[in-house]
């Protein structure tokens, strides 16, 4: 089953890469931070359903997510989401978060990549929300490092309420340095250590994405709120003009690139 899923993932990636490459200019920064072996937990910001597509397309190794089981109900997504490495989790029960962590731990124990959105849901207002401690708990449990990721431009490509993505817009995938959970293990109180670790993750995501930050959780209620229209989020704030020539908004000058376009190296 796992071998079949792996084949499906690589076939889907081979098919989707030229499609994405034709429709969007994708700039990748920080690939030197991606481990060549061993497990890692990738923590991106989340402003668009396409976030789960852009990150897998630029990584040289397979990445697995957990997603809401209802994503698989529609015939259009029943095969697409598993093809990009998504494990369906029924979130209607009280133990949904524990089931998600169990599924994630199995992936990491196998030495693979796992992706999780620390905000827990999409940000409809475009700002970065307070992170949940689930990724830190997972890092403590498995010893896998957390790699923060700033996705820039995906919200402009397909906002939460849009059914069809807009073509020919730039997208940046800014990958940060790994954060080792061992740095937090000796701190007083696991609960405090988990919060401190995820706060560092969110600080790094903010630097990589250039988003404003609010110290409150995104909620399911936010999913029903109207989408606020903004420009492209850059390290200098909101810009309606976007960025050009491969500059990486929010990534910092040392991470800027003008050449790495859907090229995992």
In tens, the pLDDT along 75-101 reads 555 666 666 677 776 665 557 678 788
Whether residue 30 is predicted with pLDDT greater than 80 in this model: the reply is yes
CA-to-CA distance for 169 and 176, rounded, in angstroms? 23
Q: Bigger pLDDT: 83 or 34?
A: 34
Whether residue 155 is predicted with pLDDT greater than 60 in this model: the reply is yes
The CA-based diameter of the chain, rounded to the nearest angstrom, is 51
- Answer whether residue 45 is part of any domain: yes
- Answer whether residue 140 is part of any domain: yes
CA-to-CA distance for 214 and 140, rounded, in angstroms? 25
Task: State mean pLDDT over 129-145.
Answer: 96
> How far apart are the two ends of the chain, measured CA to CA in Å?
28
CA-to-CA distance for 152 and 210, rounded, in angstroms? 8
Select from 172, 164, 161 the least CA-distant residue to 250: 172
- Answer whether residue 164 is part of any domain: no
Instruction: Look up the pTM and report it.
Output: 0.82
pLDDT value at residue 76 = 54
Whether residue 223 is predicted with pLDDT greater than 80 in this model: the reply is no
- Answer whether residue 73 is part of any domain: yes
Cβ of 22: how many Cβ atoms within 10 Å?
Answer: 9
Distance from the Cα of residue 110 to its chain's centroid = 20
Q: Bigger pLDDT: 66 or 193?
A: 193
- Answer whether residue 235 is part of any domain: yes
Q: Which domain holds residue 147?
A: 2-156+170-255
Task: State mean pLDDT over 208-232.
Answer: 70
Whether residue 254 is predicted with pLDDT greater than 50 in this model: the reply is no
- Answer whether residue 262 is part of any domain: no
The number of distinct structural domains making up the chain is: 1
Cβ of 168: how many Cβ atoms within 10 Å?
Answer: 9
pLDDT value at residue 4 = 59
The CATH number of the domain holding residue 240 is 3.40.1130.10
- Answer whether residue 163 is part of any domain: no
pLDDT value at residue 233 = 36
pLDDT bin (cut points 50, 70, 90) of residue 248 is: low
- The answer to whether residues 96 and 132 touch, using CB atoms and an 8 Å cutoff, is no
Phi, psi of 5 (to 5 degrees): -65, -35
Segment among 62-76, 128-142, 201-215, 238-252 with least mean pLDDT:
238-252
Task: State mean pLDDT over 229-238.
Answer: 36
Distance from the Cα of residue 159 to its chain's centroid = 16
Out of 118-122, 139-143, 216-220, the most confident range is 139-143
Helix axes 190-209, 134-142, angle to 10 degrees: 110
* Residue 238 parent element (H or E): strand 237-239
Q: Bigger pLDDT: 106 or 69?
A: 106
- Answer whether residue 165 is part of any domain: no
Segment among 67-76, 106-115, 152-161 with least mean pLDDT:
67-76
pLDDT value at residue 12 = 83
pLDDT value at residue 160 = 87
Pairing state between β 128-129 and 213-214: parallel
pLDDT bin (cut points 50, 70, 90) of residue 253 is: very low
């Amino acid at each position: 089953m796992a071998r079949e899923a792996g084949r499906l993932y690589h076939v889907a990636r081979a098919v989707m890469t030229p499609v994405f490459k034709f429709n969007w200019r994708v700039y990748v920064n920080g690939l030197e931070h991606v481990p060549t072996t061993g497990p890692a937990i990738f923590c991106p910001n989340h402003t668009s359903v396409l976030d789960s597509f852009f990150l897998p397309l630029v990584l040289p190794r397979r990445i697995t997510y957990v997603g809401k089981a209802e994503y698989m109900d529609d015939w259009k997504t029943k095969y697409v989401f598993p093809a990009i490495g998504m494990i369906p989790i029924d979130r209607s029960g009280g133990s949904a978060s524990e089931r998600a962590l169990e599924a994630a731990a199995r992936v990491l124990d196998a030495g693979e990549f796992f992706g999780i959105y620390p905000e827990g849901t999409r940000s409809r207002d475009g700002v970065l929300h307070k992170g949940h401690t689930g990724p830190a708990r997972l890092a403590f449990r498995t010893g896998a490092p957390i790699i923060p990721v700033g996705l820039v431009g995906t919200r402009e490509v397909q906002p939460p309420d849009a059914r069809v993505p807009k073509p020919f817009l730039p997208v940046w995938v800014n990958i940060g340095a790994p954060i080792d959970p061992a740095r937090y293990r000796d701190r007083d109180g696991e609960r405090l250590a988990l919060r401190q670790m995820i706060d560092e993750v969110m600080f790094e995501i903010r630097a990589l994405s250039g988003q404003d930050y609010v110290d409150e959780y995104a909620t399911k209620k936010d999913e029903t709120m109207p989408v606020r229209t903004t420009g492209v989020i850059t390290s200098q704030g909101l810009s309606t003009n976007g960025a050009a020539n491969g500059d990486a908004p929010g990534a910092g000058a040392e991470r800027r690139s003008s050449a790495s376009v859907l090229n995992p190296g």
